[in-house]
């Protein structure tokens, strides 16, 4: 039986952890090093750090906090936001990250995925997809922190990215982001059925059942959340206990 990972996500803006709703109404939360250390000690399996305004501001990932976080914790770190070149991948990995997440730049230049996978290994290359349901009933890919719609279909894009060498995909539902009504299970399931790499569900977790549903219905490999962890609504040890009691191996 496959094992499921619990992954807190730290969205970073100006060196601080922040959180919004549907990618808007951003509020300050905490210091990234302090919060990452707390999650590591609480039993998180991995930490994701996103520099959420790097792409829209057309700048490189701010890495001041990554080194500090890496020195304080002993679980894997995935870093994204503003990644646009092989040099960016190398720099982030050298600064303590275990994986690099790419989004906007990969849409602009899909072969960045292939180049990075060949240079560093597929296991280091994570594609992050920000998706929103469209009028046709499928999901469109958005870039620049959810600000710009593209012509790409989310499921088709996931398939192509894996063919190019992406070793993991974070699927983030813009519709459900921060809403706490549950992950977009239909979207997660459709992508999971089409690719062979791990899928991380993101956007919408609000209660224990939402995490369980994502594993049981959509068969995701990782459960990413922010608000419920940041504001103490769900504690990671309690969530792990609940999932284990419901037959999920962590």
CA distance 99 to 89: 9
Would you name the residues annotated as active-site residues? 11, 130
Which tokens hold the place of 3?
């094992």
From the CB of residue 220, how many other CB atoms can be counted at a distance below 10 Å? 28
From the CB of residue 97, how many other CB atoms can be counted at a distance below 10 Å? 25
Q: Which of 13, 39, 45, 2 is nearest to 218 (CA)?
A: 2
Query: Residue 129 in contact with residue 201, Cβ under 8 Å?
Result: no
Query: Residue 243 in contact with residue 214, Cβ under 8 Å?
Result: no
Query: Residue 83 in contact with residue 89, Cβ under 8 Å?
Result: yes
Contacts of 41 (CB under 8 A, 6+ apart): none
- The separation between the first and the last C-alpha atoms of the chain, rounded to the nearest angstrom, is 10
Which tokens hold the place of 130?
């920000």
CA distance 13 to 16: 5
């Amino acid at each position: 039986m496959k094992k499921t990972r619990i992954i807190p996500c730290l969205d970073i803006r100006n060196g601080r952890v922040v959180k919004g709703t549907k990618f808007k109404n951003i509020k300050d939360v905490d210091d990234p090093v302090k919060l990452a250390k707390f999650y590591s000690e609480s039993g998180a399996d991995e930490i994701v750090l996103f520099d959420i305004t790097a792409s829209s501001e057309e700048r490189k990932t701010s890495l001041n906090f990554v080194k500090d976080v890496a020195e304080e914790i002993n679980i894997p770190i995935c870093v994204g936001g503003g990644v646009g070149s092989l040099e960016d991948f190398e720099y982030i990995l050298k600064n303590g990250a275990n994986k690099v997440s790419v989004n906007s730049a990969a849409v602009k230049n899909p072969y960045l995925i292939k180049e990075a996978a060949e240079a560093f290994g597929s296991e280091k290359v994570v594609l992050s997809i920000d998706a929103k349901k469209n009028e046709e009933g499928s999901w469109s890919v958005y870039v620049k922190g959810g600000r710009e719609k593209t012509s790409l279909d989310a499921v088709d894009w996931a398939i192509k990215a894996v063919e190019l060498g992406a070793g993991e995909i974070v699927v983030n539902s813009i519709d459900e982001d921060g809403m706490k009504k549950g992950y977009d299970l239909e979207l997660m399931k459709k992508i999971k059925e089409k690719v062979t790499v791990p899928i991380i569900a993101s956007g919408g977790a609000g209660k224990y059942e939402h995490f369980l549903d994502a594993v049981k219905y959509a068969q995701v490999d990782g459960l990413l959340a922010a608000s419920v962890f940041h504001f103490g609504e769900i504690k990671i040890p309690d969530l792990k206990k609940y999932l284990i009691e419901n037959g999920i191996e962590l």
